[in-house]
Structure 1
Amino acid sequence: MMLHEFVVYLKANPGYDRIMKQIREKYQSLGHLGGTIRLDKITSDERDVLRSLFKKNYLQKSAAFSVEKFIRAFEETKYQGADFEEVLTCYFGEKLSWKKDLRSQYADERSCFFQEIIEAFNESPAALWLAAVLKNKNNAYAILNLKYNENPEDLKRLLIQVGQGLNQCVVEPEKIRLALFASQITKDPHAFDMNRDSGRLLLYALASYYQLDYPKNAQAQMELLYRAGLIYDEVSNYTIGRGIRAFVGDKIHLGWAGFAEAGEPLHISLWNISKIDRVSCFKKRIFVFENPTVFSEIAGILEDRPGSLICSTGNVKVATLLLLDKIVQGGGEIYYSGDFDPEGLLIADKLKKRYGSKLILWHFTPEAYQKIQSKKMISAARLKKLDSIESPELKKLAEVIKKSGYSGYQEMLVDQYRNDIEIL
């Protein structure tokens, strides 16, 4: 389905026509996807395509770029992972061909290249990952093809680094900062950064190991790395908690306990979470606020009285998710509140899918919305986002908001939140 959609997209834009024809010529000449595309007398359609793909203006009359660069430009799109050889075949409606002897030689050399690496890893997770990718032609298959065609030795170096990294972090799980881990494996602290080939390949390998889809955004990438014991971007990835106690084994963590006893908010980083085993909340309930102002107001109202709170500050960070995971694992219940707008409902929907019955959509009702409806209109483009809501509880609210067209903000519900916390 994705292949057909990709081809339809390419054919619909005339700016791709000359590029695709040249890629076909290079393929038939070289026997693989590679080489350099040269466009003279660039048309306005081609200029728009290049600007969109490579994020820079093409004001000159000609341009040159590698086939690898062109294909990789689609990595961050919904067409990521498509086999471009199949794309070419479907685009031109014919099976691509090149000299039989050359094809046979290429296939033999390629097979030997990958088999040598697989055998070197001796049935470890790295060997199993690479063998599965080549057999099923999924996961990182498109990237491996491109890198092999461009520079086999460079790919070999990358695969050895990634294989060693995969084996170490899944066979000997231990929480470690990604930069330090990369230094130990490659002597380069940035080797596994997400914008590096080795970083992307490591994510593919981890996704395969844990039987997950490739993480398409930064938060999902950090969560996958954390699962393998790798801490990435711990400074900016934090959550804010109040009234939460943590334990290492059976011993209470004195730092967390001090803030809980004082009733003061605590900034909790990924690293802090990696150092504890479990957490506990007052009456096994955590009240989560999307809005920092509401969180601070409720924390102030409670003063020195018990009550467990979290501030998710908009889009939920990995640190918040991992802390909520520990709360649920300990038998806790989540009361989640947020703004009544498309973005707020999408966050609530995501959390409801993750935690199911353990998460209560707190005052996310049409009745509450109608009481606090603002005069701030929501654009048609933003309202369209509500179509992707899946939770039955939120679908009703989404329809009411679409019909109204106005936002509602949780600051207006502070009194209800306070009453609930005191009663519960």
Structure 2
Amino acid sequence: MRSETRAWLDRPELARLWDRLRDRLERNGLRARGRLRLEEVTAAEREALSLLLGRPCTGSVISFELAHLDDRLHSGAAEAGLVDVVAELRGELTDRRARSEERRSASARLWAAADEALRAHGFDGTGWANAWLEEIRRGGALARVRPEQAETLLVQAVNLLAELDVPARLGPDAVPASDSSPRLLRVGRGELAARVTGTAHGLDDDTLLSRLVLRGLARVHDVPFPPDAPSRRELWEKAGVATDRVSGTVLTFGLTPLDDDLDARWLRERSAAGAETHLTLRDLHRMSWKLPPETEVYVCENPRVVEAAADRGAGRPVVCLSGNPSSTGLALLDALTGAGALLYYRGDFDWPGLAIANRVISRYGARPWRMGAADYEAHVAIARKRGTPLPPLAGEPVEASWDAELTPAMLALGVTVHEETVLELLVGDLQADD
């Protein structure tokens, strides 16, 4: 299109016309057919439309055939049809009808591939499988990836479920073989992922494939979809899949389980020697956690508290969650409270610290450990007396479930207090009674 022709067509008086035409053509399958009606047309727009359409345009409403404008543009200075002119002025057009049909075809291919994979493993007609596919359809997660990728993921999910011996021809009431021995782990998650996807990370927690398989397993075992890492681990293990139970640890000091097994004796010996201990999930699963009566365990957020307690020979047991509790940390607290321990929790006085404290206190009925409004105000006063700078609070405020006055106090003073700022106080609390 010549520059002078483009400049005339792109004049402000025709801007509304080209915007409306773009929408109409995209809905029309990029065909110049039907009529377009413009309302509340201004005098300037009427003049420009009269020249463009080759006929007088009067009144505030103007209607014309798209085919007529297409012919005018073809035979006039534009020397191009309506579709090309609108694309030149408004950018590439999308054939919405074709795209919609393409999506329908891709969806049909996806679910046909899923049905074929289910039949290949004898899952077709199985109650859990039908409910699983319907849940995936409703959820729409596969609609957010390319059709080819969605098909691959869904077929891989079916193949993975087949690897795990979930109920197939036996019908929806069948019990998976792994249910009879839920702790007999037949295959590692990385091995399983590599076998089906070609990569050991194919079933990591953040993958869509992992979520698809877990939804299937939840249907098989008739449990809710696991919302957090510990429940995901539990569901994998229920299906006979070993998750990583050795790389993640929780830091402890002073725990003295009473059992006579090797792990309990080892932990007691380390505690007697004043040594801190990192426990893995594998360690936790091997121990039965019989504890002395009325055991009190102090839970903190920062490792420095444990290190200082060990340096001073503190006599009270401490568990450090190192920030937001990991699966290993939660598993240890589950074991300790299951054995009758009473937990005391202390974290940082900042908004993430309050959020963590809310979760721990709510889940375990833990008692706050120097985590009240009065404690916060005292800590700030001590820091200011020492000349210790305190960083400002950042982020969205969090209400402390255990003390209605704490959040207002923090908003009033506006500073963060980390555990290390009052380390002497905390370590003093951990000294054994005389």
TM class, shorter-chain normalised?
0.5 to 0.7
Structure 2 residue aligned with 1:365 = 372
SS in 2 for 1:376: coil
Native 8 Å contact 2:392 2:415 kept in 1: yes
Deviations 1:47-87 (CA, angstroms, capped at 9, x unpaired): xxxxxxxxxxxxxxxxx9xxxxxxxxxxxxxxxxxxxxxxx
Native 8 Å contact 1:244 1:260 kept in 2: yes
Deviation at 1:339, TM superposition (A): 1.5
Native 8 Å contact 2:391 2:415 kept in 1: yes
Structure 1 residue aligned with 2:424 = 414
1:274 equivalent in alignment to 2:285: yes
Deviations 1:357-393 (CA, angstroms, capped at 9, x unpaired): 2x111111111111111442424x42x232xx3x531
Structure 2 residue aligned with 1:134 = 133
Paired with 2:295 and 2:244, the residues of 1 have a C-alpha distance of 30
SS in 1 for 2:291: strand
Paired with 1:294 and 1:153, the residues of 2 have a C-alpha distance of 49
Paired with 1:378 and 1:157, the residues of 2 have a C-alpha distance of 49
Structure 2 residue aligned with 1:192 = 203
Q: What residue identity is the alignment partner of 1:253? A: A
Name the CA shift for 1:369/1:222 in 2 (closer, same or farther; >3 Å).
same
1:147-158 correspondence to structure 2 within 5 Å: 152=151, 155-158=154-157
Q: Which moved more, 1:395-404 or 1:280-289?
A: 280-289
Native 8 Å contact 2:251 2:303 kept in 1: no
Structure 1 residue aligned with 2:302 = 291
SS in 2 for 1:278: coil
Q: What residue identity is the alignment partner of 2:233? A: L
Native 8 Å contact 1:191 1:198 kept in 2: yes
SS in 2 for 1:340: coil
Structure 2 residue aligned with 1:349 = 358
Name the CA shift for 1:212/1:129 in 2 (closer, same or farther; >3 Å).
same
Q: What residue identity is the alignment partner of 2:390? A: K
Structure 2 residue aligned with 1:309 = 318
| Counterpart among 274, 277, 282 of residue 263 in structure 1 | 274
Deviation at 1:118, TM superposition (A): 4.1
Deviations 1:210-249 (CA, angstroms, capped at 9, x unpaired): 744564xxxx346512453255555552111122245889
Structure 1 residue aligned with 2:264 = 253
SS in 2 for 1:280: coil
Name the CA shift for 1:291/1:251 in 2 (closer, same or farther; >3 Å).
closer
Name the CA shift for 1:254/1:109 in 2 (closer, same or farther; >3 Å).
same
Deviation at 1:279, TM superposition (A): 5.1
Q: Which of these two proteins has the greater Rg computed from alpha carbons? A: 2
SS in 2 for 1:267: strand
Q: What residue identity is the alignment partner of 1:422? A: A
| Counterpart among 228, 234, 241 of residue 236 in structure 2 | 228
Deviation at 1:270, TM superposition (A): 2.5
Native 8 Å contact 1:144 1:155 kept in 2: no
Native 8 Å contact 1:288 1:311 kept in 2: yes
- How many residue pairs match? The answer is 323
Unaligned runs of 5+ in 2: 1-18, 31-91, 167-175, 384-388
Paired with 1:397 and 1:136, the residues of 2 have a C-alpha distance of 43
Structure 2 residue aligned with 1:385 = 397
Paired with 2:405 and 2:258, the residues of 1 have a C-alpha distance of 40
Structure 2 residue aligned with 1:14 = none
Unaligned runs of 5+ in 1: 1-17, 30-63, 65-91
Deviation at 1:326, TM superposition (A): 0.6
Structure 1 residue aligned with 2:48 = none
TM-score normalised according to structure 1 size = 0.61
Structure 2 residue aligned with 1:43 = none
Paired with 2:209 and 2:253, the residues of 1 have a C-alpha distance of 39
1:67-82 correspondence to structure 2 within 5 Å: none
Paired with 2:226 and 2:263, the residues of 1 have a C-alpha distance of 37
Q: What residue identity is the alignment partner of 1:134? A: L
Deviation at 1:98, TM superposition (A): 5.2
Deviation at 1:332, TM superposition (A): 1.3
Deviation at 1:320, TM superposition (A): 0.8
Q: What residue identity is the alignment partner of 1:224? A: R
TM-score normalised according to structure 2 size = 0.60
Structure 2 residue aligned with 1:160 = 159
Deviation at 1:313, TM superposition (A): 1.7
Name the CA shift for 1:151/1:401 in 2 (closer, same or farther; >3 Å).
closer
Paired with 1:248 and 1:122, the residues of 2 have a C-alpha distance of 47
Native 8 Å contact 1:290 1:338 kept in 2: yes
Name the CA shift for 1:143/1:294 in 2 (closer, same or farther; >3 Å).
same
Q: Percent identity?
A: 20
Q: What residue identity is the alignment partner of 1:364? A: M
Paired with 2:412 and 2:280, the residues of 1 have a C-alpha distance of 40
Q: What residue identity is the alignment partner of 1:385? A: P
Q: What residue identity is the alignment partner of 1:143? A: L
1:3-42 correspondence to structure 2 within 5 Å: none
Native 8 Å contact 1:249 1:277 kept in 2: no
Paired with 1:365 and 1:322, the residues of 2 have a C-alpha distance of 27
Deviation at 1:353, TM superposition (A): 2.5
Deviation at 1:406, TM superposition (A): 1.2
Deviations 1:326-358 (CA, angstroms, capped at 9, x unpaired): 111111111111121112111101212222x2x
1:396 equivalent in alignment to 2:400: no
Name the CA shift for 1:337/1:180 in 2 (closer, same or farther; >3 Å).
same
SS in 2 for 1:133: helix
| Counterpart among 328, 335, 339 of residue 326 in structure 1 | 335
SS in 2 for 1:385: coil
